[in-house]
Amino acid sequence: MVVQIAICDDEKIFLENLVHQVSIQFITTGTKYNIKAYMDGMNLLTDCESITFDVVFLDIEMPRLNGIDVAEKIRATNPFVNIIFITNRDDLVFQSIRYRPFRFIRKHWLKEELPEAIQALTSKMRNENQYYTVSFNNSSKQIKITDIIYIESYKHDIYLYTQDEKYRIKSNLLKIEKEFEVYGFIRVHSGFLVNYRYIYSVDKTKVVLNNKDMVPLSRYRTEKVKQKLQLFSRGTE
């Protein structure tokens, strides 16, 4: 896997230094990578039309189009991109939270904070590159775990739903929950597990997914589901 990285900052000297520091950290982790640097958010957004970036480093304070506006537009078309905001203003962290940044790094503390961020990022990406082998009726297939939107228990079978396919296996939801919780799956109902990456909103009686499908939500699980969603979204679970 080659990690596609975009770095955007309007200060040329800092941008060059950041590209250098990010390169060092990815080399340290033994991860293959490709970096494209930008001094303007508009140019980055243009390239996002043809390149699916895995991680984007964004300066929040930029002319024309600031980093938060750029993040909003990137997130709309690439919901799983890892966004790392770079700034000197601590007060902007709260404004940026709604775009689910992976990290918030202060420019003056770049050398101290960047190594941890890259280590955590590469670890997260390795987890997200895991596959689950589906076996049923003497045949098997590998499914990327992050492609699974939700899992349903119905009668004596388990159904795994992806964007394009539905897979049926013999198992039980308690066993599947123990296997998949580490990958960000949340028990929302006695018969359903949902991948937090696809949750659009949590209602009183249902979970709405990004594709507008709805999964039932047990009332007594509501608060725990919201807490889990916040933890997974912040990368702290």
For the domain that residue 66 is a member of, what is the CATH number?
3.40.50.2300
Enclosing domain of residue 61: 2-128
Please give the pLDDT value at position 184: 87
| Max Cα distance, the chain (Å) | 61
Q: Which of 90, 107, 128 marks a domain boundary? A: 128
- Write down which residue in 70, 104, 128 finishes a domain: 128
Q: Please check whether residues 141 and 106 belong to one and the same domain.
A: no
* Torsion 111-113-119-122 (CA) sign: negative
Sheet hosting strand 192-195, strand order edge to edge: 166-169, 157-161, 150-154, 192-195, 185-189
Tell me the average pLDDT across 175-181. 93
Global pTM? Answer: 0.64
114 and 43 in one domain?
yes
Quick: pLDDT tens for 98-145: 667 888 898 989 999 999 999 989 988 887 778 889 987 777 888 989
Q: Count how many domains the chain has.
A: 2
Tokens of 131: 């596959």
Residues 40, 142: one domain?
no
Q: Would you state the structure tokens that stand for residue 186, as one six-digit string?
A: 């949340």
Are 6 and 99 found together in one domain? Answer: yes
| Residue 100 amino acid letter | R
Instruction: Tell whether 122 and 138 lie within a shared domain.
Output: no
The answer on 119 and 175 residing in a single domain is no
| CATH number of the domain where residue 187 is located | 2.40.50.1020
The pLDDT score that the predictor gives to residue 234 is 58
Task: Report the 10 Å Cβ neighbour count for 81.
Answer: 20
Do 122 and 33 reside in the same domain of the chain? yes
Are residues 193 and 105 part of one domain? no
Query: Same domain, yes or no, for 32 and 114?
Result: yes
Residues 41 and 107 reside in one and the same domain: yes
